[in-house]
Structures are given as structure tokens and as C-alpha cells.
């Protein structure tokens, strides 16, 4: 009998016993839909997280001063104890200075594109009478501000002269301008901004209003959201009374530079040149590229692990298919006997029932794929992510459905093929 005829026979059998067929496929449907939904949601979250991290600068390197640890010690009984960090507070000589950065720019001129410097000047509440806005005050250099890619809605940005003179002039977000000036951005320009930080008021002049990017996750309401107020780095350092240097900064690498290798080179250069005799602190570097790679790998691993657990129901569904095939063979014993008496070979009988098993599993698989995609779309929409169907999950589901059909259908098919035609014809 041809494969096409076997498929038609299998489909007619499913239509003749719809409820039994549906219950048989239920395990396959649940298993496939679970795998598809989990892998698709995992893909969506992974893509969103990776995209967000890449927007932060995949070619960025974070350079910072961290505490050294003593070497691990091994006791007489072989136990190993990690070293204890030395030193407590950083002193002036422990910071990365402007002179160090100038020398670094010269030494790595072909690898480092720009240096992004920032310093927090505190968090507080901007006030104008009864009107308030929550803000973080951050001092930045020109390169940092340029790298932020802010969209200016009114006024001007911070100029080189503002940076050099350390003027108390700031950029505020449109959210802060909405709260304090009723959305009149032009009225905000040139106005004084009073911010209450740590029991003290600081006054700045507003130079411009930028568009706040609310793509990040926040549980705050529109009115209570905390936005950043940018001011010249020198002004922030003066406000903080800091002059020692920087404990952390960001480097933007030149195009085509291997950030992982550059991290190692920078660490070796700083530590051998400036921190060799420092007993408490050293310079460490980490790239955003490696963080993105690690995050993607971790999310993929978690998604696959959960999918494997959900896939256990596929095995349960396969056992259900085997059970219904055994029942079907028992019901069709006389049919099998008649076919064998008319000359059907063991191979054709075996192929017929394996084909039926595959059709059942594939039908359940396709229903499961559609259900899984629907669940994934609903879940990603609820979570606020863009839907990202898992192509690999769909291919895996179809292949696994066929495999289950062959694996769990072979035993019943083989049992049918080995029936004695005379005994089968006598079966009541």
C-alpha cells in the first residue's frame, strides 16, 4: 500500500473517532505548545535585554579601581581559604587621575575612541513652590553627553565653555519640565532650578530641555518618575568637593577593536605603571560585549532547561499514542487478518500503523505549535516585549513529533505485522 493511501486511512480514522483522537493527542499538544511558548518568550526577553545592553554601548569598556585580595591560603589539612580584602577606604593616591588618562590616551591612541566621565552629585527633589520633580544630579564631560545621544527639545546643550568654567548650568528632562513648568519648555530655559539634596538646596540655571527615554523598566508613575539632571563635570566635582580623581569611568573603543583583549591590555598597563606598589587597590576592566554575550548565553540556557522540563509531557503523550495504537490494533484484528490473507506483507502492515502513529503525532504537533505561538504572543504582549517566535523550537517540535510517532508506533505496528492471519480471521 502506498504511503499516500496510508495517510488518507489515518486521517479518516482520526475523523471517525474525533474525541478519542483529541484525547490521544492531548499530551503531544500540551508538550509542544509549552516548548514553543517558553522558547519564544525566552527569545523575546533575550532579544530585548540584549538590545537594551547594546544600546548602552556594546563597544564600551568600564574601567574601575577595585580592592585587591590576598592570595588564597592552604592549611595543613588541605582546606583553601580565599584571601581577605586589604584596605578600607580609598585615599587620594588610589584614584585614576586626569594625568593617567592623558597618558593612556597617548599609549592607546589607536584603540580608545573617547573617555566618558561622570560623577553623581546626589539625588533629590527639584522644587518650584508647590511643584516638585524627582531628579538625579549627574556631572558629565562633553564626550559622555555626546555619547548619551539626547534629543534636545528646547534651549541648548552644555558647551565646552560650560565644561571648562564648571558653570552651574544644567539640562533637565521634559518630564521634570512638565512637573515644574506645566510643559512650557521655553519658560524653563534660563529659569533657576532649586534642588533639595541631603538637607541642602542647590541652585542651577536651566540651559536646555531634553526628551526623556522611558524605554527602560520602571514601576514609578508618570509624575513620580526620577529623571537625570546633567551639569558640567567640573561643577559636580566642585559641589562634591572632590579633586582626587575617578574610581570608575567608561571608555569607548575605536571601530574594529577587540574589547576583550583591550581590557586585558588596559589592566596590565595601569597596574604595572601606577598600581604596582599599591597594596590595597588595582585597576580592573570589563567590556559590555562580554556582558551581552554572558547574558544571552545565560538566558538561552535557562530557556532550554525549562523547555526540556516542559518536554517531559511529550513522553507522556507518546505513551498515550502507543496505548491508543494497541487498542486500535485489537479493534482491527479481523481487518489485519483479511489484508494478510489477500497478500499484504508484514512490511506493508507495519508501515500502515507507523504512518498512522506519525499522522496522530504530527497533527497534535501542528495544533501544539499554533497554540504555543498564540500563548507566546499573549505572554510577550503582557510583559511588554516584542514577539519573537522560536524557529528552532518549531523545527524541533515537528522533528520530535515524527520521532515520537515512529518510536512509540513501532511496537504496536510490529505486533500487528506479526499476527497470524488465520488466528486474526477467527478473532471475534
pLDDT band per the 50, 70, 90 thresholds, residue 15 = confident
Residue 249: all three cell numbers together = 569611568
pLDDT band per the 50, 70, 90 thresholds, residue 73 = very low
CA dist., res. 369 & res. 35, Å (int): 9
If we measure between CA atoms, which residue out of 103, 61, 97, 66 comes closest to residue 278? 66
Asked if 278 contacts 140 with a C-beta cutoff of 8 angstroms, the reply is no
Report, as an integer, the average pLDDT of 381-393.
76
pLDDT band per the 50, 70, 90 thresholds, residue 124 = very high
Confidence (pLDDT) at 236? 92
CA dist., res. 376 & res. 314, Å (int): 19
Question: With a threshold of 0.95, does the pTM exceed it?
Answer: no
User: Hey, CA dihedral for 363, 364, 367, 372, is it positive or negative?
Assistant: negative
Phi, psi of 234 (to 5 degrees): -60, -35
Domain map (residue ranges) of the chain: 3-53+293-426, 118-240
For the packed helices 346-383 and 3-16, what is the interaxial angle rounded to 10 degrees? 60
Rounded mean pLDDT of the chain?
81
- Looking at per-residue pLDDT, the higher value among 406 and 303 belongs to 406
Phi-psi region of 99 (alpha: psi -120 to 50; beta: other; left: phi over 0): alpha
If we measure between CA atoms, which residue out of 69, 109, 104 comes closest to residue 245? 104
Can you spell out the DSSP letters for 233-247?
HHHHHHHHT--S-BS
Least confident of 51-55, 234-238, 366-370, 421-425: 51-55
Confidence (pLDDT) at 75? 45
Percentage of residues of the chain with pLDDT beyond 90? 28
Tens of pLDDT, residue by residue over 311-331, are: 676 777 777 778 777 777 777
Least confident of 80-89, 105-114, 360-369: 80-89
Confidence (pLDDT) at 255? 79
CA dist., res. 302 & res. 307, Å (int): 9
pLDDT band per the 50, 70, 90 thresholds, residue 209 = very high
Tens of pLDDT, residue by residue over 140-189, are: 999 999 988 899 999 999 999 999 998 999 999 999 999 999 989 999 99
Tens of pLDDT, residue by residue over 87-98, are: 457 888 889 998
Confidence (pLDDT) at 192? 93
The residue with cell 482491527 is: 332
Tens of pLDDT, residue by residue over 77-86, are: 444 444 444 4
pLDDT band per the 50, 70, 90 thresholds, residue 55 = low
Confidence (pLDDT) at 208? 95
Amino acid at each position: 500500500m502506498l504511503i499516500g493511501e496510508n495517510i488518507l486511512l489515518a486521517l479518516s480514522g482520526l475523523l471517525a473517532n474525533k474525541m478519542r483522537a483529541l484525547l490521544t493527542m492531548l499530551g503531544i499538544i500540551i508538550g509542544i505548545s509549552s516548548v514553543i511558548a517558553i522558547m519564544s518568550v525566552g527569545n523575546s526577553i533575550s532579544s530585548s535585554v540584549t538590545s537594551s545592553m547594546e544600546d548602552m554601548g556594546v563597544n564600551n569598556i568600564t574601567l574601575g579601581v577595585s580592592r585587591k585580595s590576598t592570595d588564597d591560603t592552604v592549611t595543613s589539612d588541605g582546606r583553601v581559604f580565599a584571601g581577605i580584602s586589604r584596605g578600607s577606604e580609598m585615599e587620594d593616591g588610589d584614584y585614576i587621575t586626569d594625568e593617567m588618562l592623558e597618558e593612556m590616551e597617548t599609549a592607546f591612541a589607536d584603540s580608545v575612541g573617547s573617555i566618558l566621565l561622570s560623577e553623581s552629585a546626589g539625588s533629590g527633589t527639584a522644587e518650584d513652590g508647590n511643584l516638585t520633580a524627582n531628579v538625579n544630579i549627574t556631572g558629565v564631560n562633553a564626550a559622555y553627553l555626546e555619547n548619551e545621544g539626547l534629543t534636545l527639545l528646547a534651549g541648548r546643550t552644555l558647551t565646552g565653555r560650560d565644561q571648562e568654567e564648571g558653570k552651574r548650568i544644567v539640562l533637565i528632562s521634559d518630564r521634570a519640565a512638565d512637573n515644574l513648568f506645566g510643559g512650557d519648555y521655553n519658560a524653563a530655559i534660563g529659569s533657576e532650578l532649586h534642588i533639595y539634596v541631603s538637607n541642602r538646596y542647590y541652585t542651577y540655571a536651566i540651559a536646555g530641555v531634553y526628551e526623556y527615554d522611558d524605554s527602560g523598566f520602571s514601576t514609578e508613575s508618570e509624575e513620580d518618575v526620577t529623571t537625570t539632571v546633567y551639569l558640567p563635570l567640573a561643577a559636580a566635582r566642585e559641589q562634591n568637593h572632590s579633586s582626587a580623581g575617578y574610581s570608575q569611568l567608561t571608555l569607548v573603543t575605536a571601530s574594529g577593536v577587540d574589547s576583550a583583549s583591550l581590557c586585558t591590555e588596559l589592566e596590565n598597563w595601569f597596574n604595572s605603571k601606577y598600581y604596582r606598589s599599591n597594596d590595597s587597590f588595582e585597576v580592573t576592566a570589563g567590556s559590555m560585549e562580554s556582558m551581552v554575550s554572558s547574558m544571552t548565553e545565560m538566558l538561552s540556557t535557562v530557556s532550554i532547561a525549562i523547555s526540556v522540563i516542559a518536554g517531559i509531557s511529550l513522553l507522556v503523550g507518546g505513551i498515550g499514542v502507543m496505548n491508543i495504537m494497541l487498542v486500535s490494533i485489537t479493534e482491527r484484528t479481523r481487518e489485519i487478518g483479511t489484508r494478510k490473507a489477500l497478500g499484504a506483507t508484514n512490511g506493508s502492515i507495519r508501515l500502515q500503523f507507523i504512518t498512522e502513529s506519525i499522522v496522530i503525532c504530527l497533527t497534535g504537533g501542528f495544533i501544539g505549535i499554533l497554540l504555543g505561538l498564540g500563548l507566546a504572543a499573549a505572554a510577550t504582549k503582557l510583559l511588554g516585549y516584542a514577539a519573537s517566535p522560536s524557529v528552532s523550537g518549531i523545527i524541533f517540535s515537528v522533528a520530535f513529533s515524527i520521532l515520537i510517532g515512529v518510536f512509540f508506533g513501532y511496537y504496536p505496528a510490529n505486533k500487528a505485522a506479526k499476527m497470524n492471519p488465520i488466528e486474526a480471521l477467527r478473532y471475534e
